[in-house]
Amino acid sequence: MQQIELRALQDGCSRRGSTNSERSDSETIYFRGTLPEAKAVSSTAGDEYSPTDEELKTLPRVADRISWSVYTVAFVELCERFSYYGTQILFQNFVQRKRLTPTGAALNPSGDSNNNPGALGRGQQTATALSTFFAFWCYVTPLLGAWLADTYFGRYKMIMISILCALAGHFILVAGATPSSLQHPDSALAKFIVGIIVFGLGTGGFKPNISPLIAEQIVVDGKLRIETGSKGERVIVDPAQTSARVYNWFYLFINIGALLGQLSMSYAALYIGYYLAFLLPTILFLLCPLVLIVFKKTYRLNPPQGSVLGPALHFIFYATRGRWSFNPIRTIRNLRTHDVWNAARPSRIPAGRRPNWMTFDDAWVAELRRGVQACTVFLWMPVYWLTYNQLQNNLISQADTMRHTGIPPEIVSNFDPLALIILIPLCDLLVYPALRKSGWVRVTPIRKITLGFWFGSAAMIYAASLQRYIYTHNECGMYPNEGLPSNSNRAGGGPGAAAGVEDCAPADVSIWWQTPIYVLIATSEILASVTVLEYAFTKAPRNMRSMVQAFGLCMTAAANIIGEALIWLARDPLLVWNYALMGVVAAVAGGLVWKVHGHLDDVEDAMNLLPEGHVGVETTRGASVDLRRRRESMDEEGSDGSEAEEEDQLMQNVRT
């Protein structure tokens, strides 16, 4: 079998200026076998902590210990998600339903009619359009937040700035929901729109930085080691499992905040009014900066290293030049060949011919390639988020048309975070360890993402079936949301039933029949959404973690653009087609994810064990790492090129 030697220093950084003879044996990790079946074996005979080839096959893998500072960052995320979801859950009815009381509360919250809160009375399509825009805005602005954090402020300062911005948006929303403001619907709508824009800008700066910040509180050096477990058994401590556990519990805190926010604010709007429902999340959000300030000294904070987006884009365009074609199939084939990356690496280009922007080493190119591979996986996520987004708008409207005596129509949506709170510990502590121990199936990222798509598809097919049942058991037939014309003699109504209508009584279908939708979506989130967060952190270059995280979040924005294009389906009598279309597309997309990217699971360990690369960019503090000078020094000293050849072998065997 072919042996591939991957150089890595004990501190996790590759040493580019040294020759092979200067490295000690303890600084070398070996891979045996041709990738993608690479497996680590001990670097030295006396090293009892590095797993052998046989141990990798037989010993169970476990997560490392987690610092308590992780939980303080998770609590900040809990408060932020409480404010986000507690506010967002109100948008649909706030915009769609007309105001029946001065505060927007329901006129008869415990009765069978007039039991929905409302404020602006703009209809379902307008409400869905605005809520979809808000979600889009919140997930496209992370690109700006990530760039500012990497270039100027660092993650911690960017989070603090974003919190202040989001608080300003909260206060604007409160101002637009007061009884005096609701007396002027046009003015209230203007305040609402300004509020969600400012609020979303703050969310966009917060989201791409809080996720890497929590993961940076654990020490992830990419090295596997053997320890003795609590019961005396030998186990492999796997950094990938540690990251997965952190993100599982991080997602648990997210959904505790979402559950508490959605549950309490739904009742606040139903019984008291929208001014209180918007005010309470604002008050809790004030805890975020306090916690971050109090525990700042306990955090591992990385300073801004300067933007590497420019060098990354320069290299990608440089490496792919001449490979583009008007034929998309030919373009894909050209870009999937291994020499796309190898031929453009700095070690392959004579010093005098290297572009000025090429101030990085070969190891960073390998990291960049790994990050680009992760981003290609993310390109499928808009299809998944399209199904998830139905929870925030159309499924709330569906609940309005069902029997929900004394219960806010938004309340059933809380089964999503409730199911997550139950299922995340169950999967993390029981299901995943049992599967790893049994060896029956590998718990790998692409496999989990694929299953996440299919569970989301199942949720949409069920929603389509339920919507069809509502249409056939409703006095308004195919128009339960729009109602009947006041002069209609038939419950079926017609296309013109939107104007001058009489409200329909809810269908004789319990709101609890929506529960399976939320449980299926929750299961899909554990498999897809959590894994994407983890994948973005573990596969991105260290100095691009916020940017890769932001790219993953932008897929949600892309889903909302698609959602806006499909807004014409968000009305009666087309809602069955709305859910069915999304279910079919998600099922097909899940299969394509596995077909196109399934091979990445085979090289998961190899990708995680790549050495850290370096980029010689000047930061805002004036510090600079002149890697160009080090490379030129290497050229002048006459490097034997063995290091580049070894990396060539590694990169050629990891399929694009």
Q: What is the 3-state secondary structure (H, E, C) of 189-204?
A: HHHHHHHHHHHHHHHH
pLDDT at 436: 78
Task: Give the CATH number, domain containing residue 244.
Answer: 1.20.1250.20
Domains of the chain: total: 1
Q: Which residues pair with 415 in a beta bridge?
A: none
CA proximity to 574, closest of 134, 125, 120: 125
Judge whether residue 298 has pLDDT over 80. Answer: yes
* 79 lies in some domain: yes
Judge whether residue 52 has pLDDT over 50. Answer: yes
pLDDT tens for each residue of 143-189: 999 999 988 899 999 999 999 999 999 999 999 999 999 999 999 99
- Cβ 420 vs Cβ 255: under 8 Å: yes
CA proximity to 146, closest of 163, 161, 158: 158
pLDDT at 388: 92
pLDDT at 2: 33
Q: Which residues pair with 120 in a beta bridge?
A: 98
Q: What is the mean pLDDT of residues 457-484?
A: 82
- The length of the chain is 656
pLDDT at 393: 76
* 519 lies in some domain: yes
Tell the residue number behind the tokens 């409480």, with chain if given: 82
Q: How far apart are the first and last CA of the chain?
A: 22
* 269 lies in some domain: yes
Residues in Cβ contact with 562 at an 8 Å cutoff, skipping those fewer than 6 apart: 382, 386
Cα distance between residue 404 and residue 116, in whole Å: 10
* 315 lies in some domain: no
* 471 lies in some domain: yes
Judge whether residue 353 has pLDDT over 90. Answer: no
Higher pLDDT, 413 or 113: 413
Q: State which H helix or E strand residue 419 sits in.
A: helix 415-426
Tokens of 606: 């190899």
In the chain, what's the furthest Cα-to-Cα distance? 93
Q: Is the pTM of this model over 0.85?
A: no
* 82 lies in some domain: yes
Higher pLDDT, 131 or 486: 131
Tokens of 545: 């973690």
Lowest mean pLDDT among 154-163, 283-292, 533-542: 533-542
pLDDT at 410: 66
Residues in Cβ contact with 432 at an 8 Å cutoff, skipping those fewer than 6 apart: 244, 443
Per the structure, the complete domain to which residue 451 belongs is given by: 69-305+378-539+541-598
CA proximity to 347, closest of 366, 375, 374: 366
Q: What is the rounded average pLDDT for all residues in the chain?
A: 79
User: For residue 455, what pLDDT band results from cuts at 50, 70 and 90?
Assistant: very high
* 622 lies in some domain: no
Question: Among residues of the chain, what percentage have pLDDT more than 70?
Answer: 80
| Phi, psi dihedrals of residue 201, rounded to the nearest 5° | -65, -40
Q: Output 412-415 pairs: Cβ under 8 A, ≥24 positions apart.
A: 412/511, 412/512, 412/514, 412/515, 412/518, 413/89, 413/262, 413/518, 414/259, 414/262, 414/263, 414/266, 414/518, 415/514, 415/515, 415/518, 415/519, 415/522
pLDDT at 500: 43
Q: What is the mean pLDDT of residues 443-449?
A: 91
* 15 lies in some domain: no
Cα distance between residue 81 and residue 136, in whole Å: 17
